[in-house]
Amino acid sequence: MPVMTREDVEAFLEREFPQIHHGGRTYTVESVGPMEATMRCAYHERHVRPGGSISGPTMMALADLALYVAILAQIGPVGLAVTTNLSFNFLRKPGQRDLVASCRLLKLGKRLAVGEVTIYSEGEDEPVCHATGTYSIPPR
What CATH number is attached to the domain comprising 92? 3.10.129.10
Average pLDDT over residues 7-33: 93
Expressed as residue numbers, the domain containing 29 is 6-136
Q: What is the DSSP letter of 115?
A: E
pLDDT at site 120: 98
**Burial profile 89-124: b = 16 or more Cβ within 10 angstroms, e = fewer:** ebeeebbeebbbbbbebeebeeeebbbbbbbbbeee
pLDDT in tens, 84-104: 999 999 999 998 999 999 999
Using an 8 Å Cβ cutoff, are 2 and 12 in contact?
A: no
Q: Model's pTM, two decimal places?
A: 0.95
Q: Is residue 28 part of a domain?
A: yes
pLDDT above 90 coverage of the chain, percent? 88
Q: Is residue 98 part of a domain?
A: yes
Average pLDDT over residues 64-87: 96
pLDDT at site 4: 98
Task: Compute the mean pLDDT over every residue in the chain, rounded to the nearest whole number.
Answer: 95
Count of domains for the chain: 1
pLDDT at 55 over 90: yes
Q: Is residue 40 part of a domain?
A: yes
Q: Is residue 1 part of a domain?
A: no
Confidence of residue 121 (pLDDT cuts 50, 70, 90): very high
